[in-house]
Structure 1
Amino acid sequence: MSEPVRVAMWSGPRNISTAMMRAWENRPDTVVVDEPLYAEYLVRTGLDHPGRDEVVAAQPTWLPEVVEGLLAPLPRGKGVHYAKHMAHHLDLEAEADWTDDFRNVLLVRDPAEVVASYVRSREACEPDDIGLLQEQWLLDRWDALGADVPVIDSADFLRDPEAHLRWLCDWLGIAFTDRMLSWPPGPRASDGVWAPYWYDAVLASTGFEPYRPRAVELSEHDAAVADACRPAYERLRERRVRI
């Protein structure tokens, strides 16, 4: 039996990461896991997020246990494991060697759009909250190791989801299926317990929405947060997959 393909998709919040997880879960050969580092992150940082106690109770809070679960054998008939990760959940001061056991992909979005969306759900936003600084750190780390890690910009992706998914499946060495382009609306058993706080749009979705430019108005503080993350975004975007 061939080894399973284990995909780690690293993103920031308020991106298309949950819709991307829907696309992969709609494959009959794939198991998905939703933000497996979330509880560990909340316990380590002490942050108070919506549904914090539910998240901490629902997931392992010790990193080795999280990683063990990500590497566990797959159910019969499943050959792909897809993990949706938030890059800001990763502890950059701890060992990140465990990430090398996965086919890593970075998913990015313009920081002004991310911040504008983020502050509609949260009162405050700082540069470390939106994942781009951590994604640049990860890319630099993997580059130093000579790892092949693609970067996907969500704006490009939404202009042609099929072409990007075909490219990604080819890079992973698995067959593309058009089941990845649409899915039934509603919740999934695999959704994190935080879904009621964050997933309204995805729960109503049946596919990827076409890209449209966003009108962004930010406060002085929030504009400074976006500006602080822009160099990281531009570096990541330079490396994006071009279809």
Structure 2
Amino acid sequence: MKKILALWAVPRSTSTAFETMMRERGDFVVLDEPFGLYYYYSEEKKCDRYTDGEIKKSNNFQPLFQSIIDKAQSQKVFMKDMAYYIYDRADRTFLSHFDNTFLIRHPAKALPSLFARWPDFSLLEASYAEIYQLFEATKSYLGKVPPLIDSDDLVHKPEATVKAYCEAVGIPFMPQALKWESKVRPEVIQWEGGWHNEVQSSQGFKPREKKDYVRIEDNEHLKQAYEYCLPYYEKLYEQRLRVV
């Protein structure tokens, strides 16, 4: 079995743009948040946020996990997923099936964007503590720091950041994959609320236009979430892949 190249992310971190770039490469089968089906649409679901989808036994953790492993038997697989879906399942056996990599974004930028879609988001859904736990578990398992990139590096220095990522995981850098066609992408799960409208209208990595989000200092929920998430982000940021 080939190991699955996994990108674990926090929400609103440019992760779907990174996934789009991996599709543009053409040398991986790309999976979009498969463990989200376990988290929201399985008999073992962890959250009742979404009530519109069908609950399926095949979305339970073990059959879903096995289906991902099966895909990697004869082909290279890349998977983008949220850390909070599975951080509590990530024992050494789980980690051994993946080349685990990570994507973070400063909570001052990610949290207002998340709040615009989920004003009731939980600290778990913000996922900073969870991605830190998953990162540390991976580091302990590997005995070294796993590849971690920051969203600001990705959008401001896309070529250098993606090249560093490719070198870290041992795949060829394909500069042509940094650009893509603006189009509707049915392969990306469309969670309620237009989560991926920006990437579908994009043509590559670029800084997001500033939006009229609620300011952190003007909202108590955002303020508390920011104070909780920031220390985890800062500890992770110090261990990111450095690009110039």
TM-score (norm 2): 0.86
Select the residue among 60, 63, 73 that pairs with 2:61: 63
Select the residue among 86, 92, 97 that pairs with 2:82: 86
Q: Is 2:222 the partner of 1:222?
A: yes
Task: After superposition, give the CA deviation of every residue in 1:151-184 in whole Å (9 maximum; x if it has no partner).
Answer: 1111122121111111111222221112220111
Structure 1 residue 189: deviation in Å?
Answer: 4.0
Question: What is the correspondence of 1:15-30 to structure 2 with a 5 Å cutoff?
Answer: 15-30=13-28
Secondary structure of the residue aligned to 1:223 is: helix
- Please give the alpha-carbon distance, in whole angstroms, between the structure 2 residues aligned to 1:96 and 1:53: 34
State the match for 2:234 in structure 1: 234
State the match for 2:180 in structure 1: 183
Does structure 2 retain, via aligned residues, the 8 Å contact 1:105–1:150?
yes
Does structure 1 retain, via aligned residues, the 8 Å contact 2:32–2:189?
yes
Does structure 1 retain, via aligned residues, the 8 Å contact 2:4–2:72?
no
User: Which range moves more in the overlay, 88-97 or 19-28?
Assistant: 88-97
Does structure 2 retain, via aligned residues, the 8 Å contact 1:155–1:211?
no
- Percent identical pairs in the alignment equals 26
Does structure 1 retain, via aligned residues, the 8 Å contact 2:87–2:133?
no
State the match for 1:13 in structure 2: 11
State the match for 1:46 in structure 2: 47
Does structure 2 retain, via aligned residues, the 8 Å contact 1:116–1:217?
yes
Does structure 1 retain, via aligned residues, the 8 Å contact 2:147–2:169?
no
Question: What is the correspondence of 1:154-233 to structure 2 with a 5 Å cutoff?
Answer: 154-194=151-191, 197-210=194-207, 217-218=215-216, 219-233=219-233
Letter in 1 for 2:53: E
- Please give the alpha-carbon distance, in whole angstroms, between the structure 2 residues aligned to 1:74 and 1:97: 16
Q: Say how many residue pairs are matched.
A: 236
Structure 1 residue 27: deviation in Å?
Answer: 0.9
User: Which range moves more in the overlay, 187-196 or 227-236?
Assistant: 187-196
Residues 237, 94 of structure 1: alpha-carbon distance in 2 compared, 3 angstrom cutoff: closer
Secondary structure of the residue aligned to 2:165 is: helix
Unaligned runs of 5+ in 1: none
TM-score (norm 1): 0.87
Question: What is the correspondence of 1:145-160 to structure 2 with a 5 Å cutoff?
Answer: 145=141, 146-160=143-157
- Please give the alpha-carbon distance, in whole angstroms, between the structure 2 residues aligned to 1:211 and 1:30: 27
State the match for 2:117 in structure 1: 121
Secondary structure of the residue aligned to 1:198 is: coil
Structure 1 residue 113: deviation in Å?
Answer: 1.4
Secondary structure of the residue aligned to 1:54 is: coil
Structure 1 residue 45: deviation in Å?
Answer: 1.7
Does structure 2 retain, via aligned residues, the 8 Å contact 1:36–1:85?
yes
- Please give the alpha-carbon distance, in whole angstroms, between the structure 1 residues aligned to 2:140 and 2:33: 26
Letter in 2 for 1:85: D
Structure 1 residue 217: deviation in Å?
Answer: 1.1
- Please give the alpha-carbon distance, in whole angstroms, between the structure 2 residues aligned to 1:168 and 1:123: 33
Letter in 1 for 2:4: R
- Please give the alpha-carbon distance, in whole angstroms, between the structure 2 residues aligned to 1:153 and 1:216: 23
